[in-house]
Structure 1
């Protein structure tokens, strides 16, 4: 591997160093978030300050801020305040993980008492309720989901559970059969996944991609799917991404909206 020149880095070196794609860096530049210098021949050069700024962008993006919000936060020059804000947000994330642990313990208790499918569905939904509210409580999607699920009957929860189980089983079988993401059959499964989310709120393809990304980023989701079939979380993600791209979604830089 070629050693980095720490005075300035090319776009490829930054992508390698920071674990992002070149396309993502170009997207950040298009949005005005980070604008590297250019050589006389047009090549991008990233300074140490650019790298610091990129780190801030990636941290805030991991906390689900939109690119517009990120731009406003890092452009006001209050670096110390932003570091403190990052610390607060990460502490909140830790607290939420602790609450999720408590919810898992509650779910385990439910499972030991011979629950009905509706009981399981309600418990699983409650498991992520606090975390979901923290991340998406300000969105129309969250409010719509809260309104809809408040009206769910036991039959509604049972149906949601049955359809979810059937979809996961069909996806696992598709993986075993060697069905390729982007094929007609995989796209049909991705559409069924979208329909399952639409039960709760009106979901766009971009939002669906973000949900699919969580299947890989969150070990709880990865474990859930891969316990059914090794590699299933990745396959579902790839199938959703391929179908969303076919419908014009930007799968490299999806936004919740």
Structure 2
């Protein structure tokens, strides 16, 4: 905020001198002159602006009101309208500032959650994770996933979803995964074979459910199904539902991929 100059030259100060003293740009001073908000009282013989002590007093008030957020039209009214309710205008501005602070605080909290999600994945306590995902769930899995996939687009997509997701929304995700697991086990029991409409429906449903984490292409789904079968942890989960379920799931995913022109043997994570 600029300070009032002392001992102003009787002949006035130039635009450059006023700019330096009050901490405002020459361009702003020219604009305020053009709109009649703060016109210099004097001019040199060559037509250059000169500001008197009284001009500087008005400019100082403009700077003060501008720094607290008043618009130029409101500043003009406060300065020129003798009936203007200055305290009322300042209270209204204080309310707007408080609302802006609240918005910025919400933005800051959202940024904190986004940073936390990118660094840690799930924004849930170990107890919440166990309650949502079952006793088999290991809270360390997300840290392991970040170590392995933290530089990928999929991890960033997962983090963005995680940052905005509530425990109740995670509960809905967990329930949809559990429903899908049951449907896969029941389909295997019923003798559903790869390449049938029933199998293809389940493959598509898997992609839709998995989209809660990040979008899953058909090629990525092939790679994931192979991991379900080969990784001891994943295989144990599916085979606990039904012996051989991990392999059966991999087979129906492969068949669906072929139906869409994808060779499972050469599919890549893309």
Output the TM-score relative to the length of structure 1.
Answer: 0.52
Q: Partners in 1 of 2:135 and 2:184 — Cα distance?
A: 23
Name structure 2 gaps, 5 residues minimum.
Answer: 1-124
Residue correspondence of structure 1 range 210-229 to structure 2 within 5 A: 210-229=223-242
- Kindly provide the CA deviation profile for residues 214-235 of structure 1, in whole angstroms up to 9, marking residues without a partner as x: 1111111111111111111111
Deviation at 1:123, TM superposition (A): 9.0
Which structure 1 residue ranges, 5 or more long, are not aligned? 1-105
Per-residue displacement from partner, 1:234-256 (whole Å, max 9, x unpaired)? 11111112112212223102211
Is the Cα–Cα contact under 8 Å of residues 226 and 232 in structure 1 kept in the other structure? Answer: yes
What pairs up with 1:1-257 in 2 under 5 angstroms? Answer: 110=127, 116-117=131-132, 120=133, 124=137, 126-257=139-270
Q: After TM superposition, what 4+ stretches of structure 1 lie above 3 angstroms from structure 2?
A: 121-127
Structure index of larger Rg: 2
SS of aligned partner of 1:256 = coil
Distance 1:141 1:125, change over 3 A: farther
* 2: CA distance, partners of 1:123 / 1:232: 17
Q: CA RMSD in A?
A: 2.6
- Rounded Cα–Cα distance in structure 1 between residues aligned with 2:196 and 2:204: 12
What secondary structure sits across from 1:255 in the alignment? coil
Q: Is contact 1:121-1:161 (8 Å) kept?
A: no
What is the distance in 2 between the residues matched to 1:125 and 1:137? 18
Counterpart in the other structure of 1:65: none
Higher relative contact order (CA 8 A, sep 6+): 1
CA distance in 2, matches of 1:233, 1:122: 20
When residues 193 and 180 of structure 1 are mapped into structure 2, their CA distance, relative to the original with a 3 A threshold, is same
Matched residues, number:
146
Q: In structure 2, what is the Cα distance between the partners aligned to 1:137 and 1:216?
A: 23
- Verify the 8 A CA contact 1:137 1:143 in the aligned structure 2: yes
Question: How big is each residue's C-alpha offset from its partner over 1:50-95, in whole Å with a ceiling of 9 and x where there is no partner?
Answer: xxxxxxxxxxxxxxxxxxxxxxxxxxxxxxxxxxxxxxxxxxxxxx
